[in-house]
Amino acid sequence: MKKEFEGNILNPLPVVLVGTLIDGRPNYCIIGYMSPFDFGKHVFFSLYKKRYTWVGIQENKAFSVNIPSDRLMKEIEICGSKSGRDVDKSKLFHTFYGKLESAPMIRECPLTMECKVTDIVDYEPSKGIIGKVVKSYANPELVKEGVIDMQRARLITWTTGGDFSYYRLGEKILPEKETD
């Protein structure tokens, strides 16, 4: 017999830092529930309406998705525990911009994407943000023959239906090939 659990146990989930511009200043917020869809052309995440990042989403209709490595745990903790209303998170990172000039991205993150808001779903007490991925970026040292080496990126995940902890992305596994 399996043990029953309340809520979502779809784990692990990628840790991302969503970047927005608020009054011309970059702000970054940790998001533990980011989901790609439409074959990666769009992303979806939920955001409490009271979060400071919501101001930037409304202001610019754009955001960035910054996928951090385990080397940024201190900064991740600050972004997850402090509001941009109280702390200038732009000082934690080196910011760069791509095609969209209103989606600040983090140079220290091995993978980044800039997104344009295409839809907002209203439900209490949150908003569901849907964004079209405009451009994606990877640190050059991670790319070999046009393929990103995810293991070298040292990405982290977060568990929501268990111990609510961070984990490093594990080792690469391949299915066994059939031999004739």
- Domain-embedded: residue 52: yes
Q: Please check the confidence at residue 161 and state whether its pLDDT lies above 70.
A: no
Per the rule left: phi > 0, alpha: psi between -120 and 50, beta: everything else, 24 is left
**What total of structural domains would you count in the chain?**
1
Residue 4 resides in a domain? no
Q: Which phi and psi angles does 45 have, rounded to 5°?
A: -150, 160
Residue 8 lies in a domain: no
Residue 76 lies in a domain: yes
Sign of CA dihedral 155, 158, 162, 165: positive
> pLDDT at position 4, please?
86
Say if residue 36 is preceded by a cis peptide, omega within 30 of 0: no
Q: Is residue 155 part of a domain?
A: yes
**With 90 as the cut, is the pLDDT of residue 168 above it?**
no
* pLDDT top residue among 85 and 13: 85
Q: Is residue 83 situated within a structural domain?
A: yes
Say what the pTM is: 0.91
Task: State the first-to-last Cα distance of the chain, in angstroms, to the nearest integer.
Answer: 39
Query: Domain of 48?
Result: 13-168
Residue 27's pLDDT band, with cuts at 50, 70 and 90, is very high
Mean pLDDT in residue range 40-69: 96
**Residue 180: what pLDDT?**
64
Q: Would residue 61 count as lying in a domain?
A: yes
For residue 100, being part of any structural domain is answered with: yes
pLDDT range class, residue 72, cuts 50, 70, 90: very high
Output the domain CATH number for residue 134.
Answer: 2.30.110.10
